[in-house]
């Protein structure tokens, strides 16, 4: 009978009521460190039969697949890449649950396939020593043999097989070599069901404490606690096993584990050091006896490049130059397409203006839809260039080096290096950034990361920056090399990178105090980026931006238009009709603009704006900028749509909608001073760099933390920070550049 091992996302590994498997069917769990070629091997084994499964207990997606060995069918599950079986993150706990067959619907595997990277054998053996203690048959697959050979590493696989007591098979996934033997070994191991022997011994004191803790759990209940879990309970202070067993069997379990750890520490064998020492001592013996390393005469290109890009000083210089060039390219490469789109949007406005008769619908289409949401579309080329360049940096392998550099800085602020990856994602959008913080095992670090992720300059801020920079920052090259516009953009992105660690430092020293957790980061070899990957990422992000312009931005622009258009004063209209009838032709357009300005001031938005003007005036803003900033709460890009709508309505010339940049430059205070000075432009940009005007981010925070408390704290602290910074920038800027 062919039954699915899992039937799609959200289903259990096997249905709880499933009958026993026929003898010819086996379950193999594939485990290994990240970047060992585990998934490539899994795909090579299962061919096209794999699909994505979702484990009970936590949303960690893993591939499930099938393959045959003769008459026997293997159901394979690709577990998340993991450096050890000491579960500190949800995905690592899933691996442990599956391997132990713990949890409703999870079937214990018949055999474990442990994938080891031959070029980093010592580190990979750490996980294997733990897997060998599970009591399950194990087969080892050695991958990356060619890389090991290139690096002058010679592994005596036969001798290692003897030493480990389990089959060791060297495989090459792309050339498909070693697979026949691997399948045969898996079949034999699954049929013989022989548990491997344990290799790593711990001090007697540790074993005694494990024995004593084991007494806390009933051994013949529905879900007995295996010795492996009790060892993890003792060795992993504050880990997932401690939490789970304490929840299941009472807080006395935690107290007993804490007391046992204290006794071990006072006996000079503290955890986790005792485990790490014991395992690496054994691994050192295996590697010394069976792995030969010839003196390498050549240094790889990756090593040569890394010597510079991961260097404390030169690495930082390379990082700053790479970022500055990226931001300058955003202006230089996107400008021609941006002008084309701008021209097209204005052309459409002219056509529609000519077709429709005067009235509220015409105003809504021209001032709200085209002048507002249409103004946002102009920035699609910038988004495309930004993501193309970010993808090139990621795919080439450079971003991992940037993470390495940043980790060094972040750990100085008490922040886990693991936080860098969610923060890096937040440069695209804070929503996936906050979601990827799930992989951070430490609760406090996870919360700190979630709270600071929105400080990273997401792609929604880019259009705001570009609008103000292109309107108010001159396009000349500093020192004849790097453009001032690109440098300003770079500076704005750096604000988040500088402020986020400072906020983290405050949080880690106050409400979320806790030690920094070490971070293991693998640096992949450099490669030429795949243009296919670059194109699809660029397309995907640009399309997402266009969709936002057509949905939430469009809807908000229509609401802003309505609030700026109504109520219409009939008295004002009548007054200006009379004035225009009596005035000479040259005066009519001035009177029209005056009428539009008065109507706007009398609108709902105008009334609200004048009420908030005293609050935004210290930032150098008029009420229109203030209202646009407030209206951008659903999404930051809305500020552009709001300014476009407000200025179009206020000019009274909607049928000749001109470029937003020019309209902004033409804005004047009642005394004739320009509204926008360089100091005001900087103040607005700094406000948007630090504020939390994004409903989706706050909603995601609520979902991830399970409480409105954290989004509320984030909104209040970021808005306060943004206001104070904008105030300081305006006050300093107006003294430097003139008010």
Partner 1 sequence: MPIDLQTLVVGVAVAAAAVYVARSYWPRKKATPGCTSCPANPNRRDDYA
Which spans of this chain sit near partner 1 (rule: CB under 8 A)?
Answer: 9-12, 54, 56-59, 90, 105, 243, 359-362, 364, 435, 438, 443, 446-447, 450, 551-552, 554-556, 558-559, 562, 634, 695-696, 699, 703-707, 710
Output the CA torsion sign for 440, 445, 451, 453.
negative
Indicate the residue among 374 and 733 with the shorter CB distance to partner 1.
374
What is d(CA 344, CA 374) in angstroms, rounded to the nearest whole number? 10
Is residue 719 packed enough to be buried (19+ CB in 10 Å), middle (13-18) or exposed (0-12)? middle
Q: Give the shortest CB-561-to-partner 1 separation in angstroms.
A: 8
Minimum CB–partner distance for residue 105 and partner 1 (Å): 7
60-82: burial string, b at 16+ Cβ within 10 Å, e else: bebbbbbbebeebbbbbbbbbbb
Least distance from partner 1 to the Cβ atom of residue 29, Å: 19
What is the nearest approach in angstroms of partner 1 to the Cβ of residue 193? 29
89 or 185: CB nearest partner 1: 89
Of 298 and 358, nearer to partner 1 (C-beta) is 358
Backbone φ, ψ for residue 637 (5° rounding): -65, -20
Q: Least Å distance between CB 428 and partner 1?
A: 19
Burial class (CB within 10 angstroms; exposed 0-12, middle 13-18, buried 19+) of 147: middle
Cβ 446 to partner 1 shortest distance, Å: 7
Identify which of 624, 730, 638 has the alpha carbon closest to the alpha carbon of residue 685: 730
Per DSSP, the residues of 407-430 read HHHHHTTT--GGGHHHHHHTTT-H
d(CA 533, CA 391): 8
Between residues 6 and 718, which has the closer beta carbon with respect to partner 1?
6
DSSP assignment string, 56-104: TTS--EEEEEEEEETTEEEEEEEPPP-S-SS--SHHHHHHHHHHHT-ST
User: Closer to partner 1 at the Cβ: 373 or 406?
Assistant: 373
Min dist CB 607 to partner 1, Å, is: 18
Q: How far is the CB of 252 from partner 1 (least distance, A)?
A: 18
Distance of closest approach, residue 9 Cβ to partner 1, in angstroms: 7
For residue 375, the minimal CB distance to partner 1 (Å) is: 17
Q: CA torsion sign, 488 to 489 to 490 to 494?
A: positive
Q: Whole-number minimum distance, CB 189 to partner 1, in Å?
A: 30
310 half-sphere exposure, CB direction, 13 A CA radius: 19
Closer residue to partner 1 in complex, CB, 56/178? 56
Q: Which is nearer to partner 1, 41 or 460 (CB)?
A: 460
In this structure, are residues 469 and 457 in contact, taking their beta carbons and an 8 Å threshold? no
Q: Are 596 and 646 within 8 A, CB to CB?
A: no
Q: Residue 62's beta-bridge partner residues? A: 53
Q: Which is nearer to partner 1, 104 or 732 (CB)?
A: 104
Q: CB of residue 239 vs partner 1: minimum separation in angstroms? A: 12
The token pair that represents 418 in the structure block: 């693991």
607: closest CA among 566, 573, 642, 571? Answer: 566
Alpha-carbon distance of 166 to 365, in angstroms, equals 72
Report the nearest approach of partner 1 to the CB of residue 324 (Å): 36
CA–CA separation, 432 and 697 (whole Å): 9
* Alpha helical stretches, state H, 165-291: 179-192, 204-214, 227-235, 240-249, 252-266, 273-290
Q: Residue 252 or 551: which CB sits closer to partner 1?
A: 551
Cβ nearer to partner 1, comparing 97 with 120 = 97
The CA-to-CA distance between both ends of the chain, in Å, stands at: 81
Question: Among residues 555 and 574, whose Cβ is nearest to partner 1?
Answer: 555
Query: Rounded to whole angstroms, how far apart are CA atoms 619 and 143?
Result: 60
94 versus 134: smaller Cβ distance to partner 1: 94
The least CB distance from residue 240 to partner 1, in Å, is 9
What CA–CA distances, in Å, run from 294 to 150, 280, 706?
A: 10, 22, 55
Q: Tokens at residue 181, please?
A: 């033997």
The rounded distance, in Å, linking the Cα atoms of 256 and 262 is 10
Residue 712 CB, nearest approach to partner 1 (Å): 14
For partner 1, give the closer residue by CB, 208 or 568: 568
Judged by beta carbon, residue 11 or residue 51, the one nearer partner 1 is 11
- Measured from the CB atom, the residue of 104 and 265 that comes closer to partner 1 is 104
> What CA–CA distance (Å, rounded) separates 401 from 315?
9
Q: How far is the CB of 435 from partner 1 (least distance, A)?
A: 8
Region for residue 111 given its phi and psi (left: phi exceeds 0; alpha: psi -120 to 50; beta: otherwise) = beta
Could you tell me how many residues make up the chain? 739
Q: What sign has the CA pseudo-torsion 248, 242, 139, 158?
A: negative
Name the residue nearer to partner 1 (CB basis): 695 or 716: 695
**DSSP string of 301-317, one letter each residue:** HHHHHHHHHTSHHHHHH
Q: How far is the CB of 447 from partner 1 (least distance, A)?
A: 6
Distance CA 65, CA 40 (A): 13
With b for 16 or more beta-carbon neighbours within 10 A and e for fewer, the 270-292 pattern comes to ebeebbeebbbebbeebbeebbe
Nearer to partner 1, 248 or 288 (CB): 248
* Pairwise CA distance, residues 351 & 626, whole Å: 32
């Amino acid at each position: 009978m062919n039954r699915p091992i899992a039937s799609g996302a959200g289903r259990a590994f096997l249905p709880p009521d499933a009958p026993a498997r026929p003898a010819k069917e086996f379950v193999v769990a594939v485990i290994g460190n990240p970047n060992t070629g585990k998934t490539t091997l899994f795909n090579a084994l299962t061919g096209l039969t794999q699909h994505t499964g979702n484990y009970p207990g936590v949303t960690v997606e893993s591939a499930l697949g099938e393959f045959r060995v003769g008459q026997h069918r293997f159901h394979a599950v690709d577990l998340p890449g993991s450096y050890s079986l000491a579960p500190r993150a949800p995905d690592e706990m899933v691996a442990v649950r599956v391997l132990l067959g713990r949890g409703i619907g999870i079937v214990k595997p018949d055999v474990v396939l442990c994938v080891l990277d031959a070029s980093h054998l010592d580190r990979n053996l750490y996980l294997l020593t733990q897997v060998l203690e599970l009591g399950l048959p194990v087969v080892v697959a050695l991958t990356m043999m060619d890389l090991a050979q290139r690096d002058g590493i010679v592994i005596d696989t036969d001798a290692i097989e003897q030493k480990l007591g389990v089959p060791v098979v060297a495989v090459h996934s792309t050339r498909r070599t070693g697979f026949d033997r691997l399948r045969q070994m898996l079949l034999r191991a699954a049929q013989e069901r022989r548990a491997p022997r344990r290799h790593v011994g711990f001090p007697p004191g540790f074993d005694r404490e494990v024995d004593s803790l084991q007494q806390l759990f009933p051994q013949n209940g529905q879900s007995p606690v295996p010795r492996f879990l009790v060892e993890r309970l003792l060795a992993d202070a504050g880990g997932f096993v401690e939490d789970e067993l304490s929840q299941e069997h009472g807080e006395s379990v935690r107290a007993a584990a804490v007391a046992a750890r204290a006794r071990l520490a006072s006996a000079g064998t503290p955890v986790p050091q005792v485990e790490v020492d014991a395992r690496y001592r054994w691994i050192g013996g295996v590697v010394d006896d069976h792995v030969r390393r010839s003196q390498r005469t050549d240094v790889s290109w990756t090593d040569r490049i890394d010597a510079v890009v991961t260097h404390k000083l030169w690495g930082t210089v390379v990082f700053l130059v790479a970022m500055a060039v990226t931001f300058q390219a955003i202006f230089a490469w996107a400008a021609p397409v941006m002008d084309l789109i701008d021209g097209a949007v204005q052309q459409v406005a002219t056509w529609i203006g000519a077709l429709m008769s005067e009235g509220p619908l015409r105003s809504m289409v021209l001032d709200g839809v085209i002048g507002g949401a249409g103004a946002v579309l102009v920035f699609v080329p910038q988004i495309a260039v930004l993501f193309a360049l970010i993808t090139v940096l990621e795919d080439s392998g450079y971003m991992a080096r940037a993470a390495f550099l940043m980790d060094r800085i972040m750990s100085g602020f008490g922040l886990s290096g693991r936080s860098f990856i969610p923060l890096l994602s937040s440069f695209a959008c804070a929503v996936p950034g906050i979601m990827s913080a799930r992989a951070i095992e430490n609760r406090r670090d996870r919360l700190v990361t979630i709270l600071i992720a929105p400080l990273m300059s997401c792609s929604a801020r880019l259009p705001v920056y570009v609008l103000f920079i292109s309107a108010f920052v001159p396009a000349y090259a500093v020192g004849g090399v790097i453009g001032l516009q690109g440098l300003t953009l770079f500076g704005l992105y750096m604000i988040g990178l500088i402020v986020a660690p400072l906020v983290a430092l405050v949080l880690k020293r106050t409400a979320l105090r806790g030690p920094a957790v070490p971070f293991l980061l693998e640096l992949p070899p450099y490669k030429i980026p795949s243009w296919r990957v670059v194109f699809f990422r660029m397309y995907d992000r640009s399309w997402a931006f266009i969709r936002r312009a057509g949905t939430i931005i469009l809807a908000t622009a229509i609401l802003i238009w309505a609030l700026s258009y109504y109520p219409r004063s009939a008295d004002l209209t009548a007054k200006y009709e009379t004035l225009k009838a009596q005035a000479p032709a040259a005066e009519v357009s001035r009177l029209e603009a005056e009428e539009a300005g008065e109507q706007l001031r009398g609108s709902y938005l105008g009334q609200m704006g004048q009420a908030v003007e005293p609050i935004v005036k210290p930032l150098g803003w008029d009420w229109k900028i203030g209202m646009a900033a407030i209206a951008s709460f659903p999404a930051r890009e809305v500020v552009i749509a709001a300014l476009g709508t407000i200025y179009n309505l206020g000019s009274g010339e909607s049928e000749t909608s001109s470029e937003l940049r020019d309209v902004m430059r033409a804005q004047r205070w009642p005394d004739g001073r320009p509204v926008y000075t360089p100091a005001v432009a900087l103040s607005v940009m700094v406000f948007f760099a630090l504020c939390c005007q994004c409903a989706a981010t706050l909603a995601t925070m609520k979902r991830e933390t399970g409480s409105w408390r954290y989004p509320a704290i984030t909104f209040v602290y970021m808005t306060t920070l943004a206001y104070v910074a904008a105030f300081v920038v305006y006050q300093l800027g107006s003294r430097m550049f003139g008010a």
